[in-house]
Amino acid sequence: MSLVKGAGDGVKVTAEKVFSFGNFPITNSMVTSWVISLFLVLFVKLLVGKPQLIPSKGQLILESVIGGIRGIIEPIVGKKVFFPSFWLLSGLFFFILIHNWSGLLPGVGTIGYGHVVDNHFAIDKPLIRPGNADLNMTLALALVANICWIYFIVKYAGIKAIIKDWFGNKANKSEVSSIIFALLGIIFLAVGVIEVISIIFRPVSLTFRLFGNVFGGESLLHKMFVLVPELQWILPVPFYFMEVLIGLVQALVFMLLVSVYIGLICNHEDAEHH
């Protein structure tokens, strides 16, 4: 086992199995995700304590953060769907953000089993791996987000509104001739088919966008440690700051994309009103 950063052939694409329960494998990314989830629950509990009418400092900090997130997503999803969807969107943001930043903690990817290569200890099986650097984790997040999206649009918009939004003729029949209206109807029907195809591929794009950025960041940091061994104490530092920013941006992008998907169907009334 080693605590040394920087040897080895790079970050592996697949997560490593640490142990198993029967035939069910437990990977290093799963262990990290469980620890992060427990940390989030305990951190919020300790920060807020028992909610009070006159908020404590911890409660005030959390309420300010939640208020900031509300100001971002409420205009997108609409007032009708904001409260039902807030638990999903805020949960995705905080979960992805902390997981993205977890890869910057000491010991992540550097504690594990391996062997000595050129006077360096090469990690063959790291015991800790960022959850979002595992394709299974990002796929699970994307599938959960899209299943919840289906639930929200069916419940708060309805099947009729969904079909009209995807395939309906958006032209005003009183302003165009019957022939033009019919031709536009065919065009909007074709656009609806394309829209359905794009919706089918949304989980794929959400999965690989998040995985690619996190895995790429992990690989970049690893290479910065081994590129110039004499400078491994300073060379990766700028890239740590870059990964902090990228981790925040990717969490925001994931949350905002899901918000936009919900708002495109459910926020028509608010948009027309404004």
- Cβ atoms of 59 and 51 closer than 8 Å: yes
For residue 146, what are the CA distances in angstroms to 60, 143, 208, 232, 237?
32, 5, 15, 42, 37
Q: Residue 197: what residue type?
A: I
Half-sphere exposure of 114 (CA within 13 A, CB side): 25
Q: How many helices (H) and strands (E) does the chain have?
A: 9, 4
The dihedral built from the CA positions of residue 202, 206, 211 and 217, taken in this order, carries a sign that is: positive
- Cβ atoms of 264 and 213 closer than 8 Å: no
pLDDT of 267 reads 83
Which has more pLDDT, 55 or 1?
A: 55
pLDDT of 11 reads 67
pLDDT above 80 (res 2): no
Could you tell me which residues come within 8 angstroms of residue 152 by beta carbon, excluding any fewer than 6 positions away? Answer: 81, 84, 85, 262, 266
Q: What is the pLDDT of residues 138-196, one digit of tens each?
A: 999 999 999 999 999 999 999 999 998 899 887 777 777 888 888 888 998 999 999 99
> In the chain, where are the structural domains located?
17-273
pLDDT of 104 reads 82
Q: What is the pLDDT of residues 36-87, one digit of tens each?
A: 888 888 988 888 878 787 778 888 888 898 899 999 999 999 999 999 999 9
pLDDT of 48 reads 83
Could you tell me which residues come within 8 angstroms of residue 169 by beta carbon, excluding any fewer than 6 positions away? Answer: 181, 184, 185, 188
At 273, the pLDDT band (50, 70, 90 cuts) reads very low
Which of 107, 130, 105 minimizes the C-alpha distance to 28? Answer: 130
pLDDT above 90 (res 15): no
pLDDT above 70 (res 201): yes
**How far is 254 from 211, CA to CA, in rounded Å?**
11
- Cβ atoms of 220 and 205 closer than 8 Å: no
**Taking the complete model, does pTM exceed 0.85, yes or no?**
no
- Cβ atoms of 180 and 171 closer than 8 Å: yes
pLDDT of 1 reads 35
